[in-house]
Structure 1
Amino acid sequence: MDTTGTLDEALQRLHTSGPERLGRLTNHAPMAVEALTAHGHSGAVHRWLELYTPKLEEFPTGVAPLTDADLHTALGDPRRAADWIAYFGREVAERPWRDVLAEWWPRLLPGMYGGSTHPVIRVGHAVRTLLGGEETEPRSTELAHGLGYWAARHHPVSGVTPLPGADSAAAALSAVPPIADRADGGFPARLGRVSQLPVWAASVDDPEEARRRLTELVRAATHRYATHGHGDETMLVHAATAPNAVLRTLPALPRALWVPSLRAAWTASAAVTAMYAPDAPVAYTAPGSFAPEEVLERALAHGDEHVIKFTDTALDVGDEVALAAALRAVELSVPLG
């Protein structure tokens, strides 16, 4: 993890910006800079931020301080993003961050699909930093921003009919039926048309098995991008990065929360697959054999925030197919700047 102070400096700089821009697009900078520093590229953080800064907006104005009496009614209200972030800022300042996370994770988990799954991904990056290094104020504040964004964009999925599934995560993802009118509407509209998903890992009740299955899901979704990423080069990365955020968070959570975390992560990955998968896969062969560090350097040179974050997940998976999928994301995506 970063020992140069660069990550803390970058997070302090970014905490003056809002979690979104243009009223609907996510601020990816805190997640991308965490990924870069986690892989030893602290020296590139501020240069990358200079390219990304035009996409940032000022921190939003709050409505009113949240109290215990109105937490329920404010949940899922994006107008209260600043209020939620301030609320969690107070919580992590007054209590151990693990306690705050353990209390709110089961409350937020059913709504991890709002904000195109970006809030849980931001929380996963923040937790990795807190688990892997010094628990500094900017890092705990980053967790507060992630949790606050999640609470503001909290959006459950309901009314989904279960379909017969498959034994493996890869086969279950292949069995996901596409939604109707895949070319129509953004993430919220498409999410509303997800009406049926195959069952996978529904019988799991052991925490360790849940972690194993979640690891399998992240691997399968990452591999699948190599042949299916052309369906939507940006949105399909979330089929892998959202469950990976949950996987990264498990060590900080009570084991009793691991099984429901697996189920929510599966729904997220499967729903994204239903919304954006192409009509047919294409064969893909990576343009050579590359070491993990070389793949990350290509992602950094490309600069797109989704490419960097997907490559970060591919490095977690670590095999040749995952690295090829990261190179596919570089090939498909528009470079930053």
Structure 2
Amino acid sequence: MTVRAAIVGLGRWGRSLVNAVQGKTDAIQFVAAHTRTRASAEDFCREKKLQLHDRFEDILADRNIDAVVLATPHSQHAAQVAAATAAGKHIHVEKPLTLDRPSAEQVVAAAKKAGIVLAVGFNRRFHPSVVEIRKRLASGQLGQVMSMVATHTTSTGQFIAADNWRAQPDEAPGGAITAVGVHSIDHMIEFGGEVRDVLVITGRYIPGPSDDTTNIMLRFKNGATGLLFCSVATATTLSFTLFGTKGLAEFSKPNLSRFRFVPTSTAAPTGPVTAPPDEIIDSEGFDMLNAELVEFGRCIAEKQPYPVKIEEVLHGMSVFDAVVKSAKTQNLEAVA
């Protein structure tokens, strides 16, 4: 079965999603599209053989479309997911699922009742470097999780016009969280469990209507801690390090391609402190967008739930709410 999908939103990210799978897999194929700026999308749709619809409602009414992939402004997600669910379409929606926990719970409940696949675009979970941490944590090679430290930055803020939806405070509360930070929070939740509370400081280094930089301290219910720095106002880099009682594991580079594992020492130092030899695995060229959409298609065909657990997504929304609140109050805020 090849899933017939419609892309909704054809900005930079929507086009990236189409390009990741079109003509490259039998699991899913884009057959239709809808975007607010038709004129700018006509050539792309012609090239990719997409039927361009003027209205989102026309996508939902088309029986030849099995699924919708939403690459739209965050504030539109809740209503669009609800409408697609009511139409019986399977849904892949970009992160964040919605902009608060209550609305996320509503759309998740509706999707479960309708029996459709609801996937949230945490594509980094599919990368081999992330899979490697998952495997080593499950095997006990890392021991107990002590702390996680993440950095995720880009230079994209300078290229976003002040009137672009991505620059608006109601679309990007909490600074750089919606743009990049939610990925690292998602990894921390998967590896560290539920978060107890957060403390957040945001900053604005590029002139515009929204903060572009975010620092977060997190405490987890199991006693682990986390630190996250994310920004769209500096040079592009990415790193995530998990410190365990038996070793550390990390991935780095903007495409997550470098994995590194270092075990704890087994003997006391006799001179300057050194570390045991590290293990490095490089995974260049892995396409995370292709991986997540192929898996989305497979889950639809096999009637299986998407592997990014919806309970973890919902807890992520609770953390998101606490982050936004702490950014405003500059106080330690509990995660509901």
Verify same fold: TM over 0.5: no
Question: Which has more strand, going by share of residues?
Answer: 2
Question: Which has more helix, going by share of residues?
Answer: 1
TM-score for the superposition, normalised by structure 1: 0.28
TM-score for the superposition, normalised by structure 2: 0.28
- Bigger Rg, which one: 2
